[in-house]
Amino acid sequence: MKLLLSRVVQANLPPDCHENRTRLGMLAGWTSVVLSVVLASVKGWLGLVSGSASMLADATNNLTDVGSSLVIALGFQWSRKPRDEKHPFGHGRIEAVATLVLAIALILVGVEVAQSGISRLVHPKPIEAPGWILVTVGLSILVKSWMAVFARGLARLTRSHALEADAWNHTFDIICTLMVVVALICSRFGWGALDGWMAIGVALFILYTGITYAREAIDHLLGEKPNPMTLRRIYSTVIEVEGVMGAHDIMVHQYGDVYMVSLHVEVDANLSLVEAHRISEEAEAAVEQQLGWRAVAHVDPVDRSHVLFEELSHVLKAFVASEARLVDVHDLRAEGMDPPYRISFDLVTDMDTVRREYDEIYSSGIAMLNHAFSGRVDEVEIGIEAVVESAPMSRRVVHLGRDETVS
């Protein structure tokens, strides 16, 4: 395998870079196409010779592997198309489209195979299962085992969901073929009905695989929530940059194997615009160096010198800790030379909190502020957003001690 990979990848580039990733994906796809054609042909012939419905179902399953592997190979080949004016982030998401096409094909085939298994139960037929057929099927299991190991190894190198799905597909094929072996052996002892049940079992594996791939592909195309570990890694990288006082609103945008990160970094409000811009660029460079992704940082000025800031920070952090729906607070500001002061801040909710619950959070927050800062704070601006939010932030301006909302 190492010799094969050395002839395919560019040695001076990492295996998960775009060029090597597409080369390895095409290698996996075309290898699977060739071997699946051989296996489907052999098992189809064995199914006709033996009269086994489960064997024909397994041959059909391998035949779908030809189509799915062809989709994977072509998907990686199409993803190699360079970025253009209409597609500035490349064509990487076509890998997810290829996976979705594969999933739909598997679901349709699963239904067809299930029907053939039911038909065999209703209309049983004798099965011929000599020893040489069992040996041939055993050899096909060895071939499939190698294909599963090969695909999984390439999936780890390239971090490709499509190749990982293909590896699981080969694994399920091994289980399906083992079920066929059981059916053939049992038929020699007069338990021919088991052939139909095994065909249905193969169909269930196919359907499960297809539905799983479809869900993964659709989630990817619609846009998935970033991995929490990835967000923590980005946060840790940015917070270590000298001059960064905090980071929030970290967003990860994925276009196939192209990633972009946008985030807000908090800096001292007393810095010059030039110095604040320099810090934001260093934060961007740190993310790009650590993860290899393009990053864009927005600067949020924070004035910690205000007489009310530390007390406000302490009170709000305690409020977040006491409210189960809140996970963070940021962009704290206190303004004014003399009381009553003006304050503003943004609260962050978990992903399970819906917008109709914001009224309760606003009410709780205003009651807390009235208790802590009555007479010292007049105008309060409160923003509420989810951890990952695409809709505009909900924002209100209120006066403490009054019921009316300014905006």
Task: Answer whether residue 268 shows pLDDT above 70.
Answer: yes
Q: Which domains does the chain have, with CATH numbers?
A: 2-222 (1.20.1510.10), 228-301 (3.30.70.1350), 309-399 (3.30.70.1350)
Q: Which residue has tokens 């079920």? A: 179
pLDDT at residue 3, rounded to an integer: 58
Instruction: Give tens-digit pLDDT for 304-360.
Output: 888 899 999 999 999 999 999 998 888 888 888 888 899 999 998 987 888 889 999
- Establish whether the linkage from the previous residue to 15 is cis, with ω within 30° of 0: no
**CB atoms closer than 10 angstroms to residue 48:** 12
- Under a CB-based contact definition with an 8 Å cutoff, are residues 129 and 99 in contact? no
pTM over 0.95: no
What are the pLDDT digits (tens) for 22-46?
777 778 888 888 888 898 888 888 8
Cα–Cα distances in angstroms (integers) from residue 259 to residues 18, 245, 282, 292, 334, in the given order: 12, 25, 18, 9, 36
Distance CA 298, CA 266 (A): 9
Residues 217 and 210 sit within 8 Å (Cβ to Cβ):
no
- Residue 382 pLDDT: 93
Q: Find out whether 117 and 183 touch, Cβ atoms under 8 Å.
A: no
Output the six-digit token pair for 66. Answer: 């030809």
Q: What is the pLDDT of residues 161-172, one digit of tens each?
A: 778 877 877 887
For residue 202, pLDDT beyond 50 = yes
- Strand, coil or helix: 109: helix
102-137 residue pLDDT tens: 778 778 877 877 877 787 677 766 666 677 777 888
What pLDDT shows up at residue 43?
84
